[in-house]
Amino acid sequence: MVDPRVAKSESSRLEDRVNYDELTGHLNRSRLREAVDRAIAVAMRRPDPAAFLALGVDNMAGINKTFGRAAADMVLVEIGRRLDDCLRVSDLVGRLGGDRFGILLPHCSDEYVAVAAEKILAAVRAAPVVTARGPVSATASIGAASFGGRGSTSYEVITRAEAALADAKRTGRNCHVHYRSSEDCRERERRCAELGEMVQAMLRQDRVAFAFQPVVSATTGAVNYYECLLRLRDADGSALAAGEFIRETERFGYIRHVDRHILDKVLVEAGRHPGIAFGFNISALTTADRSWLRSLLARLRANPQLARQLVVEITETAALYDIEESARFVNALRRAGCRVALDDFGAGHTSLQHLQSLALDMVKIDRSFISDIANNRDSQVFLRHLLGLAKGFGFTTIAEGVETADEAAALRGEGVDYLQGHFYGMAVLDPPWLESAA
């Protein structure tokens, strides 16, 4: 019989992992976003100005390189403690990921935002952080976004604060920038509203389609799975690659709606064709979307064999945005029986520690390293480095963008496991497995 005290302790530990950042003990990104949504709801009922600050530690990469990861972690922990000490009791601190904190300031006028930001910057640089490798001097930059009294979402507020943070970094760091809704910003917001209406109409009209491209064994040529590449059906019936549409959709936060629609379509295809495996790419926002994950896991519990047919692809840059959140996401998918692939491997400069945190099944080597691989010595050297990293962690490797027989032969000779590209099959709207069976 399980000791109730042990069960309670385990439950408390799991709750902490779901709600709080493991390193600093502050709210994690998901819970911080929920707190911003609640503050927005309060401000809509009774206009009450509030603000959100995105704080980024300056030159964290340099601190990490010079003093080591353990010292860099100590800097983050100490800065989190200083934030707690200098803020009001009503303020909330969370970790957005990496070197970034988020700070929610309720009941905060525009005038007080600047006062609070200066107070925080002074607290960060007040004294060096004592680490095992010696004292580390640190500064920070802050981007601020005010809200209250009008419609908004936590995604929009946090995005504005992070845009202002990027401006502060470009300005010279160790400073703060307040997001201002210029004419250009208002135009972007108008485009955002139009895009949202267009996305909803597109989904209602079922204009999202898949083009299927095979991923094949480098040695036998047998298809391992088909990647589902997003296409949009135009009014005349032609299919358009997602292209600029997806970038804008992700930028303005509507990609979640598209990703949920994609999940529905993939599961329908998998249910119709039990012997076929399907890969599909999801956005960085969806890797942190607990409702998307819950929906998938619930449907897999009802139909467990579907998990063996799914390869969920996340981009390297998305995985690195919040490595801890990404690791939890990957682990949940793999426990359910899905395979997980890291797309664009090599483009985001994943570290050894990141690879260790992400218990992946596959890595897809970015196509920029594949072009003319048979003749380009620099690409060959870099490819061997990537393959060494991947194989050292036991990951299966896939090369994207294979266009010629020479490229295929060179990749096969280097030991790549799977190949994908026009040489092995174009992305087509009609299911190619049906044609091969006919």
Q: What is the CA radius of gyration of the chain?
A: 24
Residue 227, strand partner residues = 213, 279
How far is the C-alpha of 188 from the C-alpha of 194, rounded, in Å?
10
pTM for this predicted structure: 0.62
Under 8 Å between Cβ of 218 and 417:
yes
Ordered by where they begin, the domains of the chain are 21-180 (3.30.70.270), 205-437 (3.20.20.450)
pLDDT of residue 2: 47
Q: Output the six-digit token pair for 26.
A: 């502050």
pLDDT of residue 366: 82
Helices (H), ranges, 218-359: 243-251, 255-272, 284-287, 290-302, 316-321, 323-335, 352-357
Angle between helices 29-45 and 154-171 (to 10 degrees): 110
pLDDT of residue 7: 42
Taking the chain (438 residues) in runs of 10, the rounded mean pLDDT of each run is 47 57 90 89 80 93 87 94 94 91 92 92 95 93 84 80 88 88 60 67 80 95 94 70 67 75 93 95 80 91 94 80 77 95 73 71 87 83 87 91 92 94 91 71
Q: Output the six-digit token pair for 165.
A: 């943070």
pLDDT of residue 42: 83
Give the contacts of 370 (CB within 8 A, at least 6 positions apart): 379, 383, 399, 400, 401, 402, 407, 411, 421
Helices (H), ranges, 366-404: 377-392
Angle between helices 243-251 and 183-204 (to 10 degrees): 120
pLDDT of residue 9: 47
Give the contacts of 178 (CB within 8 A, at least 6 positions apart): 110, 113, 114, 144, 145, 146, 164
How far is the C-alpha of 227 from the C-alpha of 304, rounded, in Å?
21
pLDDT of residue 240: 66
pLDDT of residue 288: 73
